Amino acid sequence: NAGVTQTPKFRILKIGQSMTLQCAQDMNHNYMYWYRQDPGMGLKLIYYSVGAGITDKGEVPNGYNVSRSTTEDFPLRLELAAPSQTSVYFCASSSSGTGPFFGPGTRLTVL
Amino acid sequence: LAKTTQPISMDSYEGQEVNITCSHNNIATNDYITWYQQFPSQGPRFIIQGYKTKVTNEVASLFIPADRKSSTLSLPRVSLSDTAVYYCLVGVPQGGGKLIFGQGTELSVKP
C-alpha cells in the first residue's frame, strides 16, 4: 500500500490564483481530513469527510473548498489565493479502527 | 471535543527513558488516545494508539489510568533521532467529531 499520497510536493502561487491540492489513499478508509500547519505552529483542521459525498468544516475552512466523489480521493481547492494561505498542507485518512494516518504534505507559498 | 494539554518542551539525554504526559479532562467514552511524532518538513507519523490501561509496540508504550483523564507516552532509551515534536490526539479514529490537535511537545535529545 502507498498509504496517503499528496501532489504536488511544492507549489508557488501568485495572489489571486487558484489551485487544487490532490490527496489519495489506497487503504479503503472512509474518513479523510485536510490540515494546515503554519511555520512553527501546530496542525489546524480545515475540512474533513466521513465518506464519499459527505464533507464538513473544521477549524479554519475559510478560503477553501473540498469535494469527495470517491472513497479514495479528497481534493482541496484554494480559490483566490492569499499570502495568509502560505502553509504546509497535510491530508490524512482513518478507518473506524485506527488512524488517522498522514501524507507527506504539500508546501504552498503564496506571493 | 476533548481538549488536550501537553508540556511545550522537554529535554533529555541519549539513553534515557522519556515520559510525555497529556491531560484530557473531558475525554468522551468513545474517544481513543493517539500519539504522533513529527520531524521538520514531514507529516505526523502515527506512533501508538490506545483506549485504556497499557499499550506497547516496538517503539513506545502508552499508559492510560483508569479515569482516562490523562495519558503518558513512554519512549525507552531515546537517541538523537528521537528529537521531534510529539502530539497527543484524543478522539474517535473514525473522525466525524473533528479531530483537533493540541500544541504538541517539542522533545530535544542531547548527546
Q: What is the pLDDT of residues A85-110, one digit of tens each?
A: 999 999 999 987 788 899 999 999 99
Confidence band (pLDDT; 50, 70, 90) for B23?
A: very high
Q: List C-alpha distances in Å: A14 to A31, A63, B57, B95.
A: 32, 15, 46, 34
Closest to B71 measured CA to CA, from B82, B63, B61? B63
Counting Cβ atoms within 10 Å, is residue B105 exposed (0-12), middle (13-18) or buried (19+)? buried
CA distance A56 to chain B (A): 8
pLDDT band (50, 70, 90) for residue B94: low
Mean pLDDT of A61-73: 96
Using CB atoms within 10 Å of the CB of residue A2, give its burial: 0 to 12 exposed, 13 to 18 middle, 19+ buried.
exposed
d(CA A96, CA A56): 18
Higher pLDDT, B95 or A44: A44
The one-character DSSP state at A73 is B
pLDDT of residue B100: 79
The mean pLDDT of A36-40, rounded to a whole number, is 92
pLDDT of residue A18: 96
The neighbour count for residue B93, using CB atoms within 10 Å, is 21
Mean pLDDT, residues B35-63: 94
Provide the pLDDT confidence category of residue B97 given band limits of 50, 70 and 90.
low
User: What is the pLDDT of chain A when averaged over all its residues?
Assistant: 94
Cβ–Cβ under 8 Å, residues A20 and A69: no
A102 and B103 in contact by Cβ < 8 A?
no
What percentage of chain B exceeds 70 in pLDDT?
94
What mean pLDDT is predicted for residues B65-84?
96
Whether the predicted pLDDT of B96 surpasses 80:
no
Is residue B38 a contact partner of residue B85, using CB atoms and an 8 Å limit? Answer: yes
- Contacts B37 to A, Cβ<8 Å: none
The single residue listed with the C-alpha cell 537517541 is B79
User: Which residue from B minimizes the CA distance to A91?
Assistant: B43
Mean pLDDT of A24-49: 93
The answer to whether B80 and B12 are in contact (CB under 8 A) is no
CB B13 within 8 A of CB B80: no
Cell 504538541: give the residue. Answer: B104
pLDDT band per the 50, 70, 90 thresholds, residue B30: confident
